[in-house]
């Protein structure tokens, strides 16, 4: 039996709730072996980010090449890329290795509001990484920022932004609705053929640190296991909703605490 493998290319969160740490926890919780290529070290906790140390671009390449030259990578998740130089080498490496699935989470701002992507790198993300992506997973503010538009507030507006994002080259868009309002948190999977609304009850908790990272990693895990995109998105939505619902079982930090990645196990 082949072990499903997923690679996360992202930043490290020293407090363990988001970034590489959240991705690896997600992969493990969903039965996928996780590998990582770290783009940046962050000094952060549940209250905010106090420092970012970018990994040199050539060492990002070295990590990606080391993983692909040995492991059978079924899917790649790209999270925090930090700088334009990293985007260039990630795009070059993935064009060279050609993984079957690439999930791009365009991380620009942390849950705490701290900016994680240099403004000049946004254009590189649009033009270099988005065309490689099987699916991108922006939240509502990120979708708007990628298009230089106001945040969409209606279902029609969200679908329209999803279609305009696809026009930039990605094959599908999963717009995360956690920043919306109402009794339900609705994510929208926009593909060339259709738009699917994925709804779950909105959970009243401040423990949402790493939610976006974890959802995109859960999609990558599903793809690595051989699920199609709709199935992977539905599975990921159900899993992250349960992880958020169980988050208050944790007492970690004094700000936005983490979700409970291993809610199925303890």
Round to whole Å and give the CA distance between 88 and 125. Answer: 9
pLDDT of 178 over the 70 cut: no
pLDDT of 120 over the 80 cut: no
pLDDT at 185: 86
Q: Which of the pair, 185 or 36, is modelled with greater confidence? A: 36
Work out the average pLDDT over 118-128: 87
pLDDT of 164 over the 80 cut: yes
Q: Which of the pair, 113 or 76, is modelled with greater confidence? A: 76
Q: Report domain extents, the chain.
A: 5-249
Average pLDDT for the chain: 92
pLDDT of 144 over the 70 cut: yes
| Domain 5-249 class, CATH top level | alpha beta
Please give the positions annotated as active site.
Answer: 176, 208, 210-213
Q: Which of the pair, 184 or 219, is modelled with greater confidence? A: 219
pTM of the model: 0.95
Could you tell me if 198 and 233 are in contact, meaning their C-beta atoms sit under 8 angstroms apart?
yes
Grade residue 114 by pLDDT with cuts at 50, 70 and 90.
Answer: low
pLDDT at 247: 86
Neighbours of 183 (CB within 10 A): 7
Work out the average pLDDT over 92-109: 94
pLDDT at 216: 97
Work out the average pLDDT over 47-60: 94
- Nearest Cα residue to 4 out of 216, 215, 218, 226: 226
């Amino acid at each position: 039996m082949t072990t499903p493998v997923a690679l996360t290319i992202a930043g490290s969160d020293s407090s363990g709730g988001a970034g590489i740490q959240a991705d690896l926890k997600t992969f493990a919780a969903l039965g996928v072996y996780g590998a990582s290529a770290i783009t940046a070290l962050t000094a952060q906790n549940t209250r905010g980010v106090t420092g970012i140390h970018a990994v040199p671009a050539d060492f990002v390449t070295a990590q990606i090449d080391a993983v692909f030259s040995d492991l059978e990578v079924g899917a790649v998740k790209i999270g925090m890329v930090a700088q334009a130089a990293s985007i260039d080498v990630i795009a070059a490496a993935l064009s060279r290795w050609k993984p079957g699935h690439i999930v791009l989470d365009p991380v620009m701002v942390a849950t705490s509001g701290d900016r994680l992507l240099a403004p000049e790198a946004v254009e590189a993300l649009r033009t270099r990484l988005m065309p490689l992506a099987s699916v991108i997973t922006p939240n509502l503010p990120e979708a708007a920022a990628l298009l230089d538009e106001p945040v969409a507030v209606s279902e029609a507006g969200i679908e329209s932004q999803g279609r305009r994002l696809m026009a930039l080259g990605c094959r599908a868009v999963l717009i995360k609705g956690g920043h919306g309002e109402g009794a339900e948190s609705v994510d929208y999977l926009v593909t060339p053929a259709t738009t699917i609304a994925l709804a779950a009850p909105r959970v009243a908790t401040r423990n949402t640190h790493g939610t976006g990272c974890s959802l995109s990693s859960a999609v990558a895990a599903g793809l690595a296991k051989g699920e199609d995109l709709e199935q992977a998105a539905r599975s990921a939505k159900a899993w992250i909703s349960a992880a958020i619902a169980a988050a208050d079982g944790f007492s970690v930090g004094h700000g936005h605490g983490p979700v409970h990645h291993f809610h199925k196990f303890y």
